[in-house]
Amino acid sequence: MTANSSVAPSPLAGPTRDHLDWPFFDPEHRAFAERLDRFAVSPALTDIDHDDVDAACRTLVRRLGAAGLLDACVASEAPDGPPIDSRRVCLARETLAWHDGLADFAFAMQGLGTGAIGLAGSSALKAAVLPRVRSGEWLAAFALSEPDAGSDVAAMACAARADGDSYVLDGEKTWISNGGIADVYTIFARTGEAPGTRGISAFVVFADDPGFSVVERIAVMAPHPLARIRFENCRIPADRRLGAAGEGFKIAMRTLDIFRASVAAAALGFARRALDEALAHARTRRMFGGTLADLQLTQAALGTMATGIDAAALLTYRAAWRRDVQRLPTTREAAMAKMTATETAQSVIDRAVQMFGGRGVRSGELVERLYREIRALRIYEGATEVQTLIVARELLKGGG
């Protein structure tokens, strides 16, 4: 079964690119978008077998790497290498999500899983890991959440104790994307330098490290590789710690700040696809002597959907532009973008399903798949409720 054989045929070749005329983008971003479009309609993406999700992810990562697209999200190991450009990451996720949610996932995890290594890894660690992840040879994972510590990171129980020239890890992580198939994991564990989040450090663990195991694979409504992982007397060299002891939470937040706006971009991709499918359906669905598009209720829904998408896109690319061009913190802006884009996308997709009527809830329909794909984005990398608190905290801290 290929990527598109499980869904209804669609006449749409790709997303619209009207927003690339916005002043947030440079010519290089428009050229990058053209590369993405060519990749997305090539057999490299369209012939992926989604029946085996693990194998599909491995294949997608290899092909993204071979196409050079992972250069956009995986940092360079060179000391003077270019920084990650948030606008390119966002364009990639928006485009891939429009075509295939699993392709977006595969791309994003290569960046998120190595973001902390690029920020705080030693030169040797960067050289050992980043080229292999960027080429698609290795898969990466980011392991922060625990059974009793999701949004409340301070409740983290997974611990790492120093023992000579090593650290010994004990504990569990859960809801880990790429868990069970990743080659390299960025792990956050309590080292106890101070209470709460100030006593957490970051480490790199390889899948073949003794004491590391995958204890449960987690099935979710939109199939992705997820797992619960465990560390039992897992001994790793001390030089695999990222940054100084006790800096793990700061490193995690800096990593998430890089990629949080890209979650908004993925939501935009899903929302744009839903709108495009709804438009095509409304123009061709015969009803009451005309088409569905002739009805004012349909027109009102489409107008609301389009306006919400543009508003979310403006917030998303403002956050990315602020980080890339102004070199300013984007904690508040990225939170606004993530919150608005994911909630808007949920509403847009729901309206699209409603517009398709009974066909919209039939298993295998594209809008039905989008309905399942979008739901997790309102939770991971900080649930909507957490984003509202981040925005408020930043307002109170800065006074504006």
pLDDT for 385 equals: 95
pLDDT at position 207 over 90? yes
pLDDT at position 2 over 50? no
The 3-class secondary structure across the chain, one letter per residue, is: CCCCCCCCCCCCCCCCCHHHHCCCCCHHHHHHHHHHHHHHCCHHHHCCCCCCHHHHHHHHHHHHHHCCHHHHCCCCCCCCCCCCCHHHHHHHHHHHHHHCHHHHHHHHHHHHHHHHHHHHCCHHHHHHHHHHHHHCCCCEEEECCECCECCCHHHCCCEEEEECCEEEEEEEEEEEECCCCCCEEEEEEECCCCCHHHHEEEEEEECCCCCEEEEEECCCCCCCCEEEEEEEEEEEEHHHEECCCCCHHHHHHHHHHHHHHHHHHHHHHHHHHHHHHHHHHHHHCEECCEEHHHCHHHHHHHHHHHHHHHHHHHHHHHHHHHHHHHCCCCHHHHHHHHHHHHHHHHHHHHHHHHHHHHHHHCCCCHHHHHHHHHHHHHCCCCCHHHHHHHHHHHHHHHCC
Q: Give pLDDT tens digits for 324-362.
A: 999 999 999 999 999 999 999 999 999 999 999 999 999
Report the percent of the chain where pLDDT is more than 90. Answer: 85
Cα(378)–Cα(151) distance, integer angstroms? 13
pLDDT for 14 equals: 78
Strands 200-206, 184-190: pairing is antiparallel
Cα(75)–Cα(259) distance, integer angstroms? 12
Q: Give pLDDT tens digits for 219-255.
A: 999 989 999 999 999 999 999 999 999 999 999 988 9
Compute the average pLDDT of residues 2-21: 64
pLDDT for 357 equals: 94
pLDDT for 16 equals: 82
pLDDT for 79 equals: 87
What mean pLDDT value characterizes the chain?
Answer: 93
Cα(89)–Cα(72) distance, integer angstroms? 6
Q: Give pLDDT tens digits for 66-99.
A: 999 999 999 999 988 888 999 999 999 999 999 9
pLDDT for 149 equals: 82
pLDDT for 380 equals: 86
The residues annotated with a catalytic role in the active site are: 381
pLDDT for 150 equals: 77
pLDDT at position 4 over 80? no
pLDDT at position 5 over 60? no
Identity at 388, one-letter amino acid code: T
Compute the average pLDDT of residues 103-107: 97
User: What's the pTM?
Assistant: 0.93
